[in-house]
Amino acid sequence: MTIDSDRNNGDGTSKNKISATNILIIVIDIIVTLYTYLTLPIYVWWQNPKQTLHKSERIRSKKMDANDIDSPWVGIHDEDSILNCTFINDSDCQTLNDFIEKHYQYFPNENPVIGYRHVYYEYLEDDKDGRKIKKRKLSDHYQWINFRQIYDRITNIAHGLRLSGIERNEPVVILCETCAEFLLMQFAIARAGLVQVNVYATLGESGIAHAIRETKARYMFTSWDLLPKVRATIANQKINIDKIIYLRRRALKVSSEILENEKDYTKPIGQMDMIPFDRIELMGQCHLDRIKSSDDEEQLCKPLDKDDISLIVFTSGSTGIPKGVQLTSAQVIKSIPTALSAVPELVVDGSNHILASFLPQAHIFEAIVELTLLAFGGRIGFANPLTLVDGAPGLSPDSRSDLSILRPTIMMVAPLVLKRVQAQIYKKLEARSSIHVALFDYLINYKLRWTHKGYTTPLLNGLICCKIRELFGGNLAKVIAGGAPLSPRLQAFCRMAMDTNLVQGYGMTETCGPVLCMDQYDLSYGRSGPPLLNIYAKLDDWTEGGYRRTDFPCPRGELLIGSKTHWNGYLNLAEASQDGYVKDEKNGIHYVRTGDIVQVHSDGTFEIIDRKKDLVKLANGEYVSLGKIESTLKNCNYIDHICVFGNGFANHLVGLIVPNKEKLNSLALNGTRSMKRLKEIIGKLMQETGLKCGLKSVEIPVQIEIVMDEWTPDNEMLTAAMKLKRNAIKKRYQNVITDMFSSNANDSHGR
């Protein structure tokens, strides 16, 4: 595998300049090669690459019964070393409320646990597209809360919720951006004996309304910036809500323009109560100050039983309306040891680790990872995607980024975040010169080549990669990518450039968090690793798509994920619950059908290679995977989003492309202004990327259309997890898609 940028800009770059760059790279290659082989004996003695390769090539999972084709794979983990450093395996830790109590007893209560930044000032500023962007002037440090403070606040909030009129076992919808209060509310709901309902903050009005109706919820918790969406949903969708508990504006001071825009945020809607979150907490605190009897306290707040449905998590709705996955408190607790087995190297010194939390907490993956950090004594620093790194759009010029101050050791990311990191790196390089781009590509590929041989590259890390590491605080020990497929090229690039252990995990809402994850020694790319602790993974043939467990050299099929906790199904969807569930009566294992097609490598690691719902059959009878194609073609830096379509009456594919605006502007500045020419250039670069990444020619769209609309969760072109909503896109652009299929394939971009 090699990594490079899309340097063929179609802008008439002179051959002499390209030749000069190539000659320089050749000269550098000669010098680097001489240095490498002259110093190789020293590196062999110093780094012991054979040991590194041995760890990389070890067997990571095995079948329970090697002779039974139906037998599941189980991961090979050192269970004792994982669980001995935490309280989570105690027999009396079975609910989320037990988790709070155990943490309080197990770790020093003075230890800082949750951190956040103060917002001093907010104002609006026009971006280059003329849109208003909210800028924030932030504190130059993180404010930390210790667990004694957290414990007291959770208790106060729980009592405040009950005193506000919310009855035991009633659902409370959480529609809130990622923040410390989300975590406090989650624990308080558990302590009060209520049912937590997680809804993505980026869902559209119809998706939010659906979740409220399905759960019959009358209470909602939200953040200040989401109040307009909440109000619009209630008004437009005719939703009945009794109380909205909201977080007050975070900024200590705002501009007059913001003050005017937000003056009606808390205006009453009909008979609905609008209650600030701090008032709920104060109500509970005053109540507890008045009473000292533990009996009275117990009667007011009684947690649900471990096997009661205590959490309903709505999916992002990539294939239709969001579905509510029903989970018990016991399932959530049992998912924590599973997640711990993904980071065993961090558990032993947990108190030294900090998680940067900025992905949606409504996502089960993020929620379980946060609990896992707390389970081994780690800290959680809350960040905002708009102020995350230097140059982030919401950061005022005189404020430092969240990551530069927090200096996290662990981070969860979506592939889209890594794609933007890659784009920003190349943007800065291209601003200097094409020579810088070529030199960077050469050095990253050099590092990649020697990393695969078991070596590290300390000189490169110190001279080049350290500058990129500093963008993320400089202390990252592990980055886990999840939520969507991560292409091997993007993973390789970011692992080399960021100089950190970037691994890919896999999980679903239905599996209550992560179930597969690469380990720190795995040198492969594009895989999702072995089954984690207490997880059973097996395959089911999908003959229609040509995937069988008997395939050689790698068994292939639909992935089924099992555990010994009961599958509770989807809320109010009995048929869908039954279709997605398989029970192994003999071994007492409950399996969930994932719909993802995997292959199992000889070392027991799993690789997602397809998705059943993304497979289409062309007129010639050949199957192609739209999801795999889209993931691959997004490696082209000129493409932000691409949605590929096929049908049974054509032998070719077509695609809608949302281009990278900065790349598009660079083409326009270099004289390429006609849409026809832009399509030709982007189509050619897309084709080159696809072939370079291993796609067959039939898998590359022969007709493309450039779409200048934004695709976001707000306009329901993307899910809350930033995945394509194919049906919604197809409906919106149906005429364009039909025209592309009707056009002669010979009129496409050079094919």
Q: What is the pLDDT of residues 65-98, one digit of tens each?
A: 999 999 999 999 987 777 776 788 777 899 999 9
Per-residue pLDDT reduced to its tens digit, 590-642: 999 999 999 999 999 999 988 888 888 788 777 788 888 998 898 898 899 99
Lowest model confidence (mean pLDDT) among 8-22, 484-498, 573-587, 618-632: 8-22
Contacts of 686 (CB under 8 A, 6+ apart): 633, 636, 638, 639, 642, 655, 657, 700, 701, 704
Residue range 59-73, pLDDT digits in tens: 999 999 999 999 999
The pLDDT of residue 656 is above 70 = yes
In the chain, what are the domains? Answer: 15-33+59-77+414-612 (2.30.38.10), 98-334 (3.40.50.980), 618-747 (3.30.300.30)
Q: What is the pLDDT of residue 296?
A: 55
pLDDT tens-digit readout, 483-499: 888 889 999 999 999 99
- pLDDT above 90 coverage of the chain, percent: 65
**Per-residue pLDDT, 623:** 79
pLDDT tens per residue across span 162-192: 999 999 999 999 999 999 999 999 999 999 9
pTM of full prediction above 0.85: yes
Burial zone of 397 (CB within 10 Å; 0-12 exposed, 13-18 middle, 19+ buried)? exposed
DSSP type of residue 387: S
Model confidence at 139: pLDDT above 50: yes
The three-class DSSP label of residue 595 is strand
- Peptide linkage before 553 cis (omega within 30 of 0): yes
> Does position 733 have pLDDT exceeding 90, yes or no?
yes
* Nearest Cα residue to 701 out of 635, 651, 664, 641: 651
* Closest C-alpha among 245, 514, 534, 588 to residue 363: 514
Element (H, E) at 192: helix 180-192
Question: What DSSP line would sit under 519-553, residue for residue?
Answer: -TT---SS--BSB-TT-EEEEE-BGGGTB-TT-SS
Q: Comparing C-alpha atoms, which of 634, 449, 690 is closest to residue 441? A: 449
Q: How far is CA 472 from CA 427, 469, 529, 678, in A?
A: 17, 5, 25, 35
Nearest to 701 by CA among 716, 724, 718, 685: 685
What is residue 553's predicted lDDT score, i.e. its pLDDT?
A: 94
Look up residue 706 and give its two tokens.
Answer: 């450039």
HEC secondary structure over 241-280? CCEEEECCCCCCEECHHHHHHCCCCCCCCCCCEEEEHHHH
Give the pLDDT of residue 18. Answer: 60
Q: Which residue has the higher pLDDT, 281 or 298?
A: 281
What span, in angstroms and rounded, lies between the C-alpha atoms of 507 and 718?
19
As a three-state string, the secondary structure of 687-745 is HHHHHHCCCCHHHCCCEEEECCCCCCCCCCCECCCCCECHHHHHHHCHHHHHHHHHCCH
| Arithmetic mean of pLDDT, 250-277 | 93
Angle of helix 96-106 relative to helix 180-192, nearest 10 degrees, comes to 110
Locus of tokens 């292939």: 556
Q: Cα angle at 445 between 444 and 448, to 5 degrees?
A: 90
pLDDT for the residue 677: 85
Taking only the tens place, the pLDDT of each residue in 293-350 is: 655 555 789 999 999 999 999 987 766 788 999 999 999 999 999 999 998 887 778 8
At residue 372, the pLDDT reads: 92
Using H for helix, E for strand and C for coil, what is the string for 611-641? EHHHEEECCCCCEEEHHHHHHHHCCCCCEEE
Which residue carries 């976001």 as its tokens? Answer: 712
User: Which tokens in the block code for residue 692?
Assistant: 């370079």
Grade residue 142 by pLDDT with cuts at 50, 70 and 90: very high
143: part of which helix (H) or strand (E)? strand 143-146
Stretch 438-445: mean pLDDT: 94
